[in-house]
Amino acid sequence: MKADRQLAKYLANLGYGSRKEIEAAIRKGRVTGEGDALRFDGAPVDPPPGMVILMNKPAGLTCSRQDQGRLVYELLPPRYLKRTPALSTVGRLDADTTGLLLFTDDGKLLHRLISPKSDMPKTYDATLARPLEGHEADLFASGELMLRGEDKPLLPATLEITGERTARLTLTEGRYHQVRRMFAAAGNHVEALHRANFGLLTLGDLPVGDWRHLTAEEIAALG
């Protein structure tokens, strides 16, 4: 009986229902196996706390529960929003930005990755309103670029020109709308923005709107 209560608490923290609901499910035989082979209604149980999810975010969804409109969480199983500890995005991509987005319920990892002291490189592909003028790479790499309304210059960032109006930008900071503001400071406007990499992580062939759990090795590589 004590073991059943402990199991019910564990599954309730994973969002499968209230403790009473899970205790009833256990009595009905809906919970089977144990350890890594634990199943609920025949399906493997979700990862324990420390879970990290990688999503290929589509346009039109926001990351903040405070914003209006559709949220990226809608693409995940509803029970994921009932997990304890809570699941959060690792930083934010605005509604119009697509690409690699991480989620985790590991608070220490979350704060480490979004800390201003984090040097995790993030790469973005930008499509611009006007042709590049040729000075942008030096400006972004200078370590002297100041964004409007701020009093601290940006850290050096690497710009690779990929076309007349396209470029790949790699930076190690995560200031508010940073990529869009950087190009605005260079006299241009970002029409489309896609995050391609987060550290060593890439989207691979993950379809837009889909997601997957990171492996233990991938999580360890995040530091």
pLDDT tens, residue by residue, 65-77: 777 789 999 999 9
Same domain, 8 and 66: no
Q: How far apart are CA 27 and CA 42, in angstroms?
A: 15
Same domain, 107 and 217: yes
Please give the model's pTM, rounded to 2 decimal places.
Answer: 0.94
pLDDT at 139: 98
Q: How far apart are CA 22 and CA 8, in angstroms?
A: 5
Q: What is the DSSP letter of 35?
A: G
Question: What total number of domains does the chain contain?
Answer: 3
Same domain, 10 and 71: no
Same domain, 132 and 110: no
Task: Collect the ranges in the chain with pLDDT lower than 50.
Answer: none
Residues recognised as catalytic: 94
Same domain, 194 and 215: no
Kindly give, in sequence order, each residue whose CB lies less than 8 Å from that of residue 198, ignoring residues fewer than 6 positions away.
90, 100, 102, 120, 122
Same domain, 66 and 111: yes
Q: Which domain holds residue 14?
A: 2-44
